[in-house]
Amino acid sequence: MIRESIKMSWQNILSNKMRSFLTTLGIIIGVTSIIALITIVEGVTGEVTNQFASLGAGKIIVQAYGTPLKQGLSDSDLEKLMAVENVSGISPTLTVNATVVRNKTLEEKVSIDGKNEIYFKNNSDLIIRGRALNILDMENKNRVTVINQALEEILFFGENSIGKTIQINGITYQVVGVLDEGAITDVNSMMAAGMGSDGKAVIPYTTAMRIAGVNNISSLEVLITDTDKADEVISSVELVLNEAFNYKEDSYNIINMDSLIDMMKTMTGMMTSMLAGIASIALLVGGIGIMNMMLVSVTERTTEIGLRKALGAEPKRIQLQFLIESIFLSLLGGLIGLVLGLSISWVVASIIDIQFAISTGAIVLGVGFSAAVGIIFGWAPARRASNLNPIDALRSV
């Protein structure tokens, strides 16, 4: 019975190809929107989350604005922070804008990050060639630098830059290492991604302080040994900072990287749900279109229904055929929308340079929703067809 109903439903759809296509158009648009939006949002979310994660989980970022009487944190303040329980290291950060020159002709404006050896110990995978900055570079304020692949390409045209020199704000530095192309060295670097030059250079933070003309640290990373005790560490760090800045309000800001990642996931999850809800409106419109077409089909096939009933066809078989036809139309639109949605997602991912990943959840949601629309909006026409009186139906001939 089911096989025969499926065969007849498919034949009826094929006999009216244009009308069937126009009927499924709303479903196609709805499923395309859901698949494309969710896949793109999840791709962007994954990219941003990976960038945050590349900064290192299990750390907090301290931005010390200071007060009019005290700018930044002194060495003694850093020692107090280092003494906090469950703190494994302190990595100061100082970012300055500078002009990098090679051979007095090649010039590039880049962002220079001052880092210490602890940063590279916790991010050893960032170095793809040469060496990282070490403690001797910090103590001696050595004029050495680690540059990223983008800056190496700009200044050295693909040549190996290790051991060669560049000028940063007129001062000569030796290149000792090369960073991975996608390396993000701090939150500011990530926020600035895509803005201005892609070139990046890292120098000893003690050298960066000399360039910037400052004696105190205004930004640092606090590495935590046990992420489950992050809240306790933050409370202890706040005590040190409050004492350092005499309990002055707005003198510092603390960012928990793990909490920031969780917040990003929550926000993008809400955004995905909202976009899917908006796109679902098109599915509802498509469902109404299917219901209207099925009602028209019932009217057009009144004689056929009457003949089948007169020959002994049970009402439930009539109902099943029209319901299957409605589901077929809806699923057909869903499958076309699935292909279009994934295609659009792939194109957008290629353009904005994010990883394209097929979202299983989006596929299940899109196809499942389209099938549900077929059942819900096809039920009334199918019921109407099954309830037709065969005598009245035959009289309409």
pLDDT tens digits for 91-113?
888 888 888 998 877 888 888 88
Q: Over pLDDT 70: what percentage of the chain? A: 89
Band of pLDDT at residue 20, cut at 50, 70 and 90: confident
pLDDT per position as a tens digit, 304-349:
778 877 777 788 888 888 888 888 888 889 999 999 999 999 999 8
Would you state the pLDDT for residue 193?
45
- Name residue 319's amino acid: Q
- Tell me: pLDDT of 298 over 90: no
Alpha-carbon 184 to chain mean position: 16
Band of pLDDT at residue 383, cut at 50, 70 and 90: confident
Distance CA 11, CA 22 (A): 17
- Tell me: pLDDT of 131 over 90: yes
Would you state the pLDDT for residue 23?
82
Q: What is the mean pLDDT of residues 20-34?
A: 85
Distance CA 96, CA 203 (A): 11
Comparing 266 with 122, the larger pLDDT belongs to: 266
CB neighbourhood size of 365 (10 A)? 18
Average pLDDT of the chain is 82
In this prediction the pTM is 0.60
- Tell me: pLDDT of 192 over 50: no
Comparing 159 with 11, the larger pLDDT belongs to: 159
Most confident among 154-158, 247-251, 343-347, 352-356 (mean pLDDT)? 343-347
Band of pLDDT at residue 167, cut at 50, 70 and 90: very high
Would you state the pLDDT for residue 19?
79
Comparing 9 with 194, the larger pLDDT belongs to: 9
Would you state the pLDDT for residue 343?
93
Alpha carbon dihedral 273, 274, 276, 280, in 10-degree steps, equals 130
CB 63 within 8 A of CB 245: no
Would you state the pLDDT for residue 4?
65
Distance CA 98, CA 101 (A): 10
- Tell me: pLDDT of 208 over 60: yes
Establish how many alpha carbons lie within 13 A of residue 356's alpha carbon, considering only the half-sphere containing its beta carbon.
15
Distance CA 101, CA 340 (A): 48
Would you state the pLDDT for residue 184?
55
Least confident range from 18-32, 56-70, 215-229, 318-332: namely 56-70
